């Protein structure tokens, strides 16, 4: 595994989200894809549908989905007959999501954005699939840049201790 600096990866993820226009999932995946031999275009493509809590449906936070994609590269479960591999993958996903939830109170986009109360299971207001324009107001009212950084840090810590 290539040597890397977690703080540089955290800053890269946040920069990709804020300046690069990538969604939250893409920003987390693109902060680490090189460590797994995945080119930027492929990494951006496979993570593209998870922004906005899966296609702006405001379900699981895209940055958590990014951690999940990276867990598949860190603890691959490519052979469905090897139950131990799936168990290790699921354990890593649960561990990372649990750390994220402990910090933020939820892994659900609509709750993290304050669209519904934490833990309410209320439906999010229906939104268009069209991504929001990235304006200064957009960044002021959303915690996404910070959430991306938290997810990138969690992933980096897991990679270092693999």
- Cβ within 8 Å of residue 24, ≥6 positions away: 17, 50, 51, 52, 61, 62, 63, 66, 144, 147, 148, 151
Angle at Cα 137 formed by Cα 132 and Cα 141, nearest 5°? 85
Q: pTM of the entire structure?
A: 0.94
Q: Name the residue among 4, 30, 6 with its Cα closest to residue 19.
A: 30
**Residue 107, domain member (yes or no):** yes
**Residue 1, domain member (yes or no):** no
**Residue 156, domain member (yes or no):** yes
**Residue 89, domain member (yes or no):** yes
Ramachandran region of residue 56, left (φ > 0), alpha (ψ -120 to 50) or beta? left
Q: What's the CA gap between 90 and 84, in Å, rounded?
A: 10
CB 152 within 8 A of CB 31: yes
**Residue 133, domain member (yes or no):** yes
Lowest pLDDT segment from 5-19, 50-64, 83-97, 122-136: 122-136
Number of H helices, E strands in the chain: 8, 0
- What's the pLDDT tens digit per position in 87-137? 999 999 999 999 999 999 999 999 999 999 998 888 888 888 998 888 888
- Cβ within 8 Å of residue 97, ≥6 positions away: 64, 67, 68, 107
Question: Domain residues for 93?
Answer: 6-160
Lowest pLDDT segment from 1-5, 23-27, 65-69, 107-111: 1-5
Domain count along the chain: 1
**Residue 134, domain member (yes or no):** yes
pLDDT at position 108: 97
pLDDT at position 162: 77
**Whole-number percent of the chain with pLDDT over 90:** 81
**Residue 25, domain member (yes or no):** yes
pLDDT at position 56: 95
**Residue 17, domain member (yes or no):** yes
Residue 1 above 70 pLDDT?
A: no
- What's the pLDDT tens digit per position in 23-51? 999 999 999 999 999 999 999 999 999 99
């Amino acid at each position: 595994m290539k040597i890397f600096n977690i703080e540089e990866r955290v800053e890269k993820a946040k920069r990709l989200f804020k300046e690069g226009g990538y969604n939250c999932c893409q920003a987390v995946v693109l902060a680490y894809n090189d460590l797994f031999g995945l080119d930027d275009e492929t990494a951006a493509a496979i993570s593209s549908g998870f922004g906005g809590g899966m296609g702006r449906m405001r379900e699981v936070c895209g940055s958590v989905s990014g951690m999940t994609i990276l867990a598949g590269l860190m603890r691959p479960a490519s052979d469905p007959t090897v139950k131990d591999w799936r168990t290790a993958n699921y354990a890593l996903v649960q561990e990372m999501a649990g750390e994220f939830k402990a910090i933020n109170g939820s892994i659900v986009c609509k709750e993290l954005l304050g669209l519904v109360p934490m833990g309410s299971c209320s439906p999010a207001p229906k939104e268009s699939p069209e991504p929001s324009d990235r304006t200064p107001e957009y960044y002021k009212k959303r915690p996404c840049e910070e959430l991306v950084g938290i997810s990138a840090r969690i992933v980096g810590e897991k990679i270092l201790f693999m």
